[in-house]
Amino acid sequence: MVKRVVVGAHYGLRDWLVQRVSAVVMALYTVLLVVVLAAAPPLDYAAWKALFAQQWMRFATLLFFFSLFLHAWVGVRDILMDYVHPTGVRLALQVVVVLALVYYAMWTVQVLWSA
């Protein structure tokens, strides 16, 4: 019989829900982007810039990327918890992943709102 040690973190349902909701957000954004591009395909830089100059498109894109980062964090964290057994190494890798994702999130905001 397998003895399960409950540590009180309660990751299961919350993380499952985060991955499913973030996947739905990313799928909806993809459908939105396909519709927008099919309706009026931007053919040059000015058209792309005009598309992303609209606040709703910037917000939708930001929501997509934040969902992507959350989705990635849950997946990578689960992989590290399953396959990296030394606690110190796992913690160091998790810190590196979190720092990278936070950097990517800040970079996303900078790219979307710098123009």
Q: Are the beta carbons of 39 and 85 closer than 8 angstroms?
A: no
Q: Please name which of 41, 39, 106, 42 lies closest in space to residue 69, comparing C-alpha atoms.
A: 106
Amino acid letter, 54: Q
More confident residue, 16 or 10: 16
Compute the distance between CA of residue 17 and CA of residue 12 in angstroms, rounded to an integer.
9
Three-class secondary structure of residue 41 per DSSP:
coil
* Tokens found for residue 67: 């969902």
Domains, the chain, in order of start with CATH, read: 11-113 (1.20.1300.10)
Q: Supply the pLDDT for residue 115.
A: 61
Q: What is the 3-state secondary structure (H, E, C) of 72-84?
A: HHHHHHHHHHHHC
Q: What is the pLDDT of residues 17-64, one digit of tens each?
A: 999 999 999 999 999 999 999 998 988 999 999 999 999 999 999 999
